Chains A and B, each alone.
Chain A
């Protein structure tokens, strides 16, 4: 479904991604873990061309693109197949929840407005915001905004949704509602690539976990393999730091 090969990216002298390969199958939920600065977010942003990689290729549902030299048309095509959920939600401030979700359909995909609003309504219903169609982002809590952000991605019916630390900007008590929505759409068979620090979510929902550090993939495997029997020393160190005490006996 999605296959990334040899992706490199530097910001000035700082090399963030040092050749990352990645494979996501249809219906997979792949979670990327790793300490901050390990390149997780950059990886995601390069896939959606929010950053230009210095090297690397991608295969997205049969379409082959060079991540460095893709043309405008190819970038557009990739973005039609993917959707992005941002850490800071990035809802369109000048549009209501319903308009936010419909915007990509109407303007980006030329779906007739009436049909787009219907699809957008259904997406908002799905994330539990049936009563917030006409609310502006400034009237919504962080958790609600992020759920609109997820609805905006889901409504596009993309091949894959990229989640960039979707709960990191939220108050702790609002994290649950967003993760709940993510579990739900994962259960519906949505292909998801998720960067997160929510270990419980990775354990429960992911069918593949990737541990990144220093711009490379250190280790990848099923949640049981990564959390239960990590092979690499760096993975073990990271898990010791982030997992609460009660999980440590299993390591």
Chain B
């Protein structure tokens, strides 16, 4: 084994790792697109104390928070094909479940866990909007739906942004666990490249850098948007 870092390999592998970014972002984007509205609805069910849904949400949230994502991945990756096989057989669909692209499993697992996390984020942020805002909106003739859309959600969203940024960054990092179901994202691509010449350190540094850059960019974008969206919170002049 050679001494020191193989810089040339490191540079090459950096671009290999980079080529996993679209998959990582696709999983992140799909998970967020599903989790933001779903999490928000669940948060509303808890804030407005809607029976049954509220209890189910509570159990669901503690289930997700109380189990490692890697375990959720193992369970999904092992059980969904079985369910699908049964389903396909019942309805006579001729598809081999083991041909299903792993990204679909990633969509399921990460949407499932992110929804739970975001429902908590939105629940606390809805709590920061004073009840008087809803009352004032209703008193000037807005329906509850209009009040939420025009007054409450815009304010709740602003206070949710820091936590939403954290959740998004955590999600991006968590997608690295997709390698456990052979999802061709950043980590797996770099690791496979490293396997050939045992250049693991170089590959890990590459992975490290790619995530660092990606997460910093996302964080920066959130900061920028937060500043823009919270312009109304200017200090008294």
Contact = CB atoms under 8 A, between A and B. Distances in A.
B55 interface: no
Interface in B125-145: 130, 132-133, 135-143
Interface stretch (B148-156, B168-176, B180-188): B148-156
B133 A92 contact: yes
Interface string A57-72: 0000000000000000
B233 interface: yes
B142 A93 contact: no
A104 B142 contact: yes
B139 A83 contact: yes
A109 B141 contact: yes
Given A90-B130, A90-B132, A108 B141 contact: yes
Contact of A156 (B140, B146, B150, B155): B140
Contact of B133 (A76, A82, A93, A152): A93
A84 B136 contact: yes
B142 A90 contact: no
A222 to B, nearest CB: 29
Given A50-B138, A76-B141, A107 B150 contact: yes
A93 B150 CA distance: 11
A50 B135 contact: yes
A153 B141 CA distance: 11
Contacts of B68: none
Contacts of A108: 140-142, 146
Given A50-B135, A86-B136, A94 B142 contact: no
B140 A103 contact: yes
B195 interface: no
Interface in A89-103: 90-96, 103
A163 B225 CA distance: 38
A139 interface: yes
A207 interface: no
B234 interface: yes
A138 B235 contact: yes
Nearest to B144: A72
B142 A139 contact: no
Contact of B140 (A83, A138, A139, A141): A83
A136 B139 CA distance: 20
A95 B232 contact: yes
A50 B143 contact: no
A10 interface: no
Determine chain B's interface SS by DSSP, over half rule: helix
A77 B233 CA distance: 33
Given A86-B132, A138-B232, A93 B141 contact: no
B71 interface: no
A139 B138 contact: no
B93 interface: no
B1 interface: no
Nearest to B147: A107
A48 interface: yes
B236 interface: yes
A136 B150 contact: no
Contacts of B52: none
B237 interface: yes
A152 B137 CA distance: 11
Nearest to B130: A90
Contact of B143 (A76, A90, A140): A76
Contact of A79 (B138, B155, B232, B234): B138
Interface centre among A80, A103, A137 (most CB of B within 10 A): A103
Interface string A198-229: 00000000000000000000000000000000
A156 B133 contact: no
Contacts of B137: 92, 103
Contacts of B236: 138-141
Nearest to A91: B136
Contacts of A152: 140
Smallest CB-CB A-B distances: 5 pairs: A108-B141, A104-B140, A90-B136, A90-B132, A84-B139
17 contacts: A48-B139, A49-B138, A50-B135, A80-B141, A83-B139, A86-B135, A88-B130, A90-B133, A92-B137, A94-B151, A103-B150, A104-B140, A108-B141, A136-B233, A138-B235, A138-B236, A152-B140
Interface of B: 130, 132-133, 135-143, 146, 150-151, 154-155, 158, 231-237
Given A86-B135, A104-B141, A107-B142, 8 more contacts: A50-B135, A76-B141, A80-B141, A94-B151, A104-B140, A138-B232, A139-B236, A153-B140
